[in-house]
Amino acid sequence: MRLFHVLALGALALPLAAFAADPHSYAQPDQVRVTHLDLDLAIDFPQKQLTGRATLTLDWADPKAAALVLDTRDLKIARVEAVDGDGRTSALKYALAPRDKELGSKLTIRAPQHPRAVRITYATSPAASGLQWLTPAQTAGRKLPFMFSQSESIHARSWVPLQDSPAVRFTYSAHVTAPKDVRVVMSALNDARHPLDGDFRFDQPHPIPSYLLAIAAGDIAVKETGPRSAVYAEPPVVDKAAHEFEDTEKLIATTESLYGPYAWGRYDLLVLPPSFPFGGMENPNMTFATPTVLVGDKSLVSLVSHELAHSWSGNLVTSAAWRDIWLNEGFTTYVQGRITEAVYGKALADEEALLSARALQKSIGRMPANAQRLAPEPRGIGADDALSDVAYDKGSWFLRTLEQRFGRADFDAWLKGYFQRHAFTSITTEQMLDDLRPNLIDKHPGKMSWDEVRAWVYQPGLPKDAPLPASPRFDAIDKERGAFLAGTLAADQLDAKGWNTQEWMYFLDRLPDVAPLAKIRELDAAWHLTGTPNAEIGMRWYSHAIAAGDKDVWPAAAEHMTRIGRIYLTTPVYRAFAATPEGLAYAEAAYAQAKDGYHPLTQAAIEGIFAKAGKAKASP
């Protein structure tokens, strides 16, 4: 996520000396690297804890290294031991540094004898930033408690002591015990027919970075959706989810036809409770997904296309630091569009690309210059902050520009080769550019200059000639919106009966930030947007209605933002309320009632909105 002025590197794997560059990790993998993780954990729902042991297999790269340094956050360390080749253990001295607000606590383990492995016995905190614990009443079935992890970006350290940097890849195995009737799943190969006997074992044979380490447990049912895919969800949700995601095998096969074989064996999806803070998380073998995409018409299944695409861009070829996260998200958003086009048609793919491009055009100018770069300067942006619209939408826009300039056939040949050349490695922006230049730019001279490429990557903003896809339906919506706002077209005369989710999103996205109250009420009377079950539409609608001053929508808006824990769909509504003192007080009261049901990341985002509003209120 920051602009390292380093020499371009052509090797497939990141050189050892570059490992220490990650400013979001205490680890020193240039001295010693974790190559395998073995977990033995027990899930304690009453105490909201994971307890057990993490055994780290080590590769000592520096013969002079005297210590293993790991990342932790709020872990209670009981003991640390060296493990020799015969499994014998001996105690090691260690020191846990004071807690840093963002990075957690550095764990330094004295190990001058360079043991083959180190075993750490520990327990997590009930407030671990990477775990959420739900009571039965907070689940769909209301029978059993539920727990799930969210390790991206640097939250794996809150439930496992490890080298929490995307530059470090490791295989893992796990033994997890849980109460009977609870199913446990992980970002590894899962057995849909595993008995619910409280004893689960997992294996991830491919090396992954720590942010892809994942676990969930609860009342989870399973329904197969294809020969190598299944949907996991709470029993009241699983049939609806299986119907919505019934095209999963078609999506996998389509992506394989474009970019080569799927490398992970199975692709399963876990639909989490509504408190999940993101749309989806691309955990290998087991994508975690929000239930907000279950709208019944498959209009939001591009989320599956996106998380599946990560199996190539992100999981297979990974950014080496959070500064480089556009290599994951920009590439994945581009591939998502290609999957959507192949399975659901070019019109839908173009609408989704145009939606994101227009939103970025509106927002990028309000960002600090450094945040507008695909490869930002090294300091000033937190690991979580790196996952911005710039990484996703400017990154994919850059790749669509390359496709347009070089033609789809030549661009696809480069991209497929890029995935193959860098498979199961973590790379920097500079390494990607070192691959791009000889294999595409120089190979087809005269189509795009190297200065143009560097401007996309290293300059703030968007190039003036950045190409936009065409969408005749969006053009028609622009005309209707303009006529409606001008008063020459009544709300009930909008040709909106056949609009899909994306078209409603586009109509609402391009309304004025503060629309006339009369126009908002006219829209609601004609189209009954208040109370919509579609969360994408609801987020936009409530934000506009609150900004316009329509207090009649407040109860429905509060229900929306307290029922849904997905940050993207919740915080805009809180932000709209926080714009006025009365709205802020209303939102704070709603949050006080709903707080315990939110994920820690969602809590932090909402409390940040309140803090900012409070400062604005206090300033003269």
Instruction: Name every residue whose Cβ is closer than 8 Å to that of residue 495 and which is 6 or more positions away in sequence.
Output: 476, 480
- What are the φ/ψ torsions at residue 235 (nearest 5 degrees)? -50, -40
With respect to residue 360, please indicate whether it lies within any of the assigned structural domains.
yes
The single residue listed with the structure tokens 């229900």 is 559
Domain CATH code at residue 580:
1.25.40.320
With respect to residue 143, please indicate whether it lies within any of the assigned structural domains.
no
In this predicted model, what pLDDT tens digit does every residue of 147-183 receive, in sequence order? 999 999 999 999 999 999 999 999 999 999 999 999 9
With respect to residue 46, please indicate whether it lies within any of the assigned structural domains.
no
Residues 426 and 545 in one domain: no
With respect to residue 426, please indicate whether it lies within any of the assigned structural domains.
yes
The answer to whether the beta carbons of residues 554 and 586 sit under 8 Å apart is yes
Domain CATH code at residue 354:
1.10.390.10
Which pairing describes strands 229-233 and 268-271: parallel, antiparallel, or unpaired? parallel
Identified catalytic residue from 122, 232, 259, 392? 392
Residues 376 and 414 in one domain: yes
Residues 366 and 488 in one domain: no
pTM: 0.92
With respect to residue 542, please indicate whether it lies within any of the assigned structural domains.
yes
Query: Residue 383 has what pLDDT?
Result: 79
Identified catalytic residue from 152, 307, 341, 430? 307
307 is catalytic: yes
Residues 444 and 513 in one domain: no
Task: Please identify, among 458, 488, 518, the residue that sits at the C-terminal boundary of a domain.
Answer: 458
Q: Which domain holds residue 361?
A: 317-458
Q: DSSP per residue over 133-187, as a string?
A: EE-GGGSSSSSS-EEEE--TTTTGGGTS-B---TT-EEEEEEEEE--TT-EEEES
Residues 546 and 420 in one domain: no
**SS3 for 523-570, per residue?**
HHHHHCCCCCCCHHHHHHHHHHHHHHCCHHHHHHHHHHHHHCCCHHHH
Residues 436 and 525 in one domain: no
In this predicted model, what pLDDT tens digit does every residue of 58-104 receive, in sequence order? 999 999 999 999 999 999 999 999 999 899 999 999 999 999 999 99
Task: Please identify, among 413, 432, 458, the residue that sits at the C-terminal boundary of a domain.
Answer: 458
The Cα–Cα gap between 75 and 157 comes to: 8
Q: Is 310 annotated as a binding residue?
A: yes
Give which of 263, 158, 174, 173 is closest to 211, Cα–Cα.
Answer: 158
Q: What does the block give as tokens for 457?
A: 């990557």
**What's the structural domain count of the chain?**
2
Q: Is 24 annotated as a binding residue?
A: no
The Cα–Cα gap between 274 and 424 comes to: 32
With respect to residue 347, please indicate whether it lies within any of the assigned structural domains.
yes
Residues 489 and 371 in one domain: no
Q: What does the block give as tokens for 386?
A: 């790196």
Run means of pLDDT, 10 residues per run, the chain, 620 residues = 26 41 92 98 98 98 97 98 94 98 97 97 97 94 96 97 98 98 98 96 98 98 96 97 94 96 97 93 97 87 93 97 96 97 94 95 94 85 81 98 98 98 97 98 97 97 94 97 98 96 96 97 98 96 98 98 95 98 97 94 95 77
The Cα–Cα gap between 198 and 184 comes to: 8
Task: Please identify, among 458, 486, 512, the residue that sits at the C-terminal boundary of a domain.
Answer: 458
Residues 552 and 610 in one domain: yes
**Residue 70, SS3 per DSSP:** strand
What letter does residue 318 receive in the DSSP assignment? Answer: E
Query: Residue 302 has what pLDDT?
Result: 86
Query: Residue 380 has what pLDDT?
Result: 65
Residues 389 and 414 in one domain: yes
Residues 542 and 612 in one domain: yes
With respect to residue 487, please indicate whether it lies within any of the assigned structural domains.
yes
Terminal Cα distance for the chain, rounded: 35
With respect to residue 145, please indicate whether it lies within any of the assigned structural domains.
no
Residues 345 and 384 in one domain: yes
Residues 436 and 478 in one domain: no
